Amino acid sequence: MQTIAAISTPVGAGAIGIVRISGDDALKVAEKVFYTSKLKSLSDAVPNMMYYGTAVADGISDKCLGVYFKAPKTYTGEDIFEIHCHGGIRIVQEILKGCIEAGARAADKGEFTKRAFLNGKLALSDAEGVISMINAESEAQLKASYRSMTGELSRSIYAFEEKLLDAIATMEASLDYPEEMEEESRRVAEDTVNALCKELAKLLSTAKTGSYVKQGIDVAIVGIANVGKSSTLNALTGKDRAIVTEIAGTTRDSLEERIEAEGLLLNIIDTAGIRETDDKVEKLGVDRSRDIAGRSDVVLFITEAGRELNKEEKEILDSLKNAKVLYVFNKDDKPHAKDDRKGIFISAKTGEGIDKLKRAIVDCVIDGNIDFSGNIVTDSRHYDALKRAYNSLIQAKNSFADAPTECLLVDMRDAYSALGEITGNTADESIINAIFSKFCLGK
């Protein structure tokens, strides 16, 4: 494969910029742009050692470091040379241009990682772990991505594939010797299929948590006017984000802010107070509030401590029957009658109860702590493939009693092929290209 080169650091001024070259001719290309007094020729470079030198391209020079990584123990599985220069936009571009003049081709998005995959360094799901690692914003995303990138998920899937393939092969062989082998091979295959159904069901059951890890939890703040919804958003985010006044109808549009709680992202949406109104703009805001509340994972129903719910509030609650509603009694700092209703008592003004509220939001959707010691399915592509594999296996499982071996084999092969889409064993080129196109240049 042709040697490729790209700028691997973000576009913009920075302390360091890295130009990476990968392929059989990495050293030959590097030799045309990087010089060090320590070596007569770059082909004498000791792998994994940084050399201080000068990059020269088209008359422009920079002082930099160069390092050689020797195939096959490299990120891509090929020879790699990296030039670490100063992180100026123009400098890295000139060095890249020099590499291209020296015979390298500009790499496509994610092409280094794609080569790693094609060279058997990474499973497809490991490569996807690399992208989500780069894109991770919360602690939970980072932890889950790390597990995926380091092959935690792919190892499980490979193991499933292997067991299934074994059963498929034995059943196929038995077709030639039905008398001697068929019954026994079906019995063994049935055990395998039953066991795999259980394993896949377990993995699939993590997907709900996985989607909260990946997308965050959508939290809508809902209630009548002036109960302190916008103040609660401000208290949760620690910012003076929403306008707060004593005038009902201040918030007319919805506002979204993200925070991290218990390692997860919360997408918090402040809405317009729900009430009957003749104001056209406010009315649109109110409709939007109802809509947002309906689509959220958790609804914070804000009311005031020490007073009964009024008619309007009861109506709002009625319309939220299908949502996960957390009762929040605000303005707890004000003197009020004894109130022992179930819910979280807070003061958006003083910040009292806000940490408790954050924990309660997470507890609302996730039972117990997120267990990072096992696999969590966070990627919808993986979920979809797992689900198809599972459905085919269930189909097979239910057919062992009476279906001919050939029919069972169809379902088992379907399941095998679906699992292979996750690891990349059976993924076709369009899936692979779609995945790597989501990468950044230079990765």
Binding mask of the shown chain, residues 248 to 287, with x at each position contacting ligand GDP by CB under 6 A: --xx---------------------x--------------
Q: Give the nearer residue to ligand GDP in terms of CB position, either 246 or 428.
A: 246
Amino acid at 405: T
295 binds, among Mg ion, ligand GDP, none (CB under 5 to 8 A by kind): none
Q: Which residue is nearest to Mg ion (CB)?
A: 251
206 binds, among ligand GDP, Mg ion, none (CB under 5 to 8 A by kind): none
Q: Measured over all CA atoms, what is the biggest interatomic distance in the chain, rounded to whole angstroms?
A: 86
Query: Is 402 among the residues that bind ligand GDP (CB under 6 A)?
Result: no
283 binds, among Mg ion, ligand GDP, none (CB under 5 to 8 A by kind): none
Question: Nearest approach, Cβ of 98 to Mg ion (angstroms)?
Answer: 57
271 binds, among ligand GDP, Mg ion, none (CB under 5 to 8 A by kind): none
- Name the CA radius of gyration of the chain, rounded: 29
Burial 7-23 (b: 16+ CB within 10 A, else e): bbbeeeeeeebbbbbbb
Within 279-338, the residues that bind ligand GDP by CB under 6 A are: 330-331, 333-334
Residue 195, token pair as written in the block: 């066991």
Binding mask of the shown chain, residues 214 to 253, with x at each position contacting ligand GDP by CB under 6 A: ---------x-xxxxxxx------------xxx---xx--
Of 99, 160, 229, give the one whose Cα is nearest residue 416. Answer: 160
245 binds, among ligand GDP, Mg ion, none (CB under 5 to 8 A by kind): ligand GDP
Question: Nearest approach, Cβ of 226 to Mg ion (angstroms)?
Answer: 8
Q: CB–CB of 27/81 below 8 Å?
A: yes
Query: Is 154 among the residues that bind ligand GDP (CB under 6 A)?
Result: no
Question: Nearest approach, Cβ of 253 to ligand GDP (angstroms)?
Answer: 12
**DSSP state for residue 323 in the 8-state scheme:** S
* Coil, helix or strand at residue 96: helix
What values do phi and psi take at 203, rounded to 5?
-65, -45
Q: CB–CB of 378/211 below 8 Å?
A: yes
330 binds, among Mg ion, ligand GDP, none (CB under 5 to 8 A by kind): ligand GDP
Q: Give the nearer residue to Mg ion in terms of CB position, either 138 or 230.
A: 230
Question: Nearest approach, Cβ of 297 to ligand GDP (angstroms)?
Answer: 21
Beta bridge partners of 83: 19, 66
Q: CB–CB of 369/143 below 8 Å?
A: no
Question: Nearest approach, Cβ of 357 to ligand GDP (angstroms)?
Answer: 12
- In angstroms, the first-to-last Cα distance of the chain is 17
Query: Is 251 among the residues that bind Mg ion (CB under 5 A)?
Result: yes
* Coil, helix or strand at residue 2: coil
Q: Which stretch binds ligand GDP (CB under 6 A): 50-58, 289-297, 346-354, 387-395?
A: 346-354
Q: Give the nearer residue to ligand GDP in terms of CB position, either 113 or 251.
A: 251
Number of neighbours of residue 230 by Cβ within 10 angstroms: 24
How far is 255 from 241, CA to CA, in rounded Å? 9
How far is 425 from 295, CA to CA, in rounded Å? 37
* Coil, helix or strand at residue 263: coil
Amino acid at 262: E
Binding mask of the shown chain, residues 229 to 248, with x at each position contacting Mg ion by CB under 5 A: xx------------------
Burial class (CB in 10 A: 0-12, 13-18, 19+), 130: buried
Q: Give the nearer residue to ligand GDP in terms of CB position, either 245 or 380.
A: 245
Q: Rule CB under 5 A: which residues touch Mg ion?
A: 229-230, 251
Q: Rule CB under 6 A: which residues touch ligand GDP?
A: 223, 225-231, 244-246, 250-251, 273, 330-331, 333-334, 347-349
